[in-house]
Amino acid sequence: MELDNIAYRVSYRGVKYPRLEFKTGELLFVLPYGYNSDELLKKHKSWILRKIEFIEDCLKNSSAKEIIERTDKELRDIVYSFAAKHSKELGLKLSNIYFREMRTKWASCSSKGNLTVNMLTKDLPAHLIEYVIFHEIGHLVERKHNDKFWGIVSKGFNNYQELEKDLFVYWFRFNNRV
């Protein structure tokens, strides 16, 4: 696959460093004002091609994923249960738990301990909801997705790479419902 055929969007922002994102399956270049996107495209060609292959694989497998039907109350109960379990396990305290629709992520956790959970998680298998909660609570220790963070995550879920891929596949499953 050649890079000439790859569709991407460019967003110029007041950022210091350029970055590539595939958050919703679309390649997005977030660039400082005046930065040339061609340089970034060439520099990261192999990474981009690997990501595209990964996304195509996820799309292909997404239709086979089972959707679990839960009520909003059932989601709240399961999230509160996992949050209590894992915050105690990690010796951390959450301030609040919120639920809302989110466009690009399963959940987030602020540095103040506010956990926000995407309402789409309602239809995930319980083990993936548990993983999402653990992952986000882990950000209270380490904000970035670096080696320290993945070390924390692997203590609770040594198969985290498989779970991350599963979440990506589900993302396409939920966002391509027929």
Where residue 149 sits, what CATH number does that domain have?
3.30.2010.10
Give percent of the chain with pLDDT exceeding 70: 94
Do residues 45 and 77 both lie within one domain?
no
Nearest of 98, 96, 133 to residue 116 by alpha carbon = 98
Please indicate whether residue 96 or residue 103 has the higher confidence score (pLDDT). Answer: 96
Do residues 92 and 160 both lie within one domain?
yes
> Quick one: tokens of 17?
């460093």
Nearest of 139, 130, 119, 153 to residue 79 by alpha carbon = 130
Do residues 44 and 81 both lie within one domain?
no
- What does the mean pLDDT of the chain come to? 90
Q: pLDDT band at 116, cuts 50/70/90?
A: very high
Contact between residue 114 and residue 165 where contact means Cβ atoms under 8 Å apart? no
What integer pLDDT is reported at residue 1 of this predicted model? 46
Do residues 54 and 112 both lie within one domain?
no
Would residue 67 count as lying in a domain? no
Would residue 118 count as lying in a domain? yes
Would residue 114 count as lying in a domain? yes
The H-or-E segment that residue 62 falls in is: helix 45-62
Rounded to 10°, the helix 160-175/45-62 angle is 70
171/116 Cα distance (integer angstroms): 17
Q: Sign of the CA dihedral 157, 159, 164, 169?
A: negative
**Per the structure, how many domains does the chain have?**
2
* Residue 150 scores a pLDDT above 80: yes
Domain, as residue range, for 90: 72-175
Residue matched to tokens 């986000």: 136
Q: pLDDT band at 73, cuts 50/70/90?
A: very high
Do residues 167 and 84 both lie within one domain?
yes
What are the CA-CA distances from residue 26 to residues 55, 135, 152, 159, 172 (Å)? 9, 24, 29, 26, 12
Do residues 58 and 132 both lie within one domain?
no
Do residues 84 and 147 both lie within one domain?
yes
**pLDDT tens profile 159-173:** 999 999 999 999 888
Helix %, strand %, coil % for the chain, to 5? Answer: 50, 15, 35
Do residues 140 and 91 both lie within one domain?
yes
Would residue 100 count as lying in a domain? yes
Do residues 91 and 151 both lie within one domain?
yes
- State the number of CA atoms in the 13 A half-sphere of 80 facing the CB: 8
Q: pLDDT band at 178, cuts 50/70/90?
A: very low
Q: pLDDT band at 176, cuts 50/70/90?
A: low
* Residue 57 scores a pLDDT above 90: no
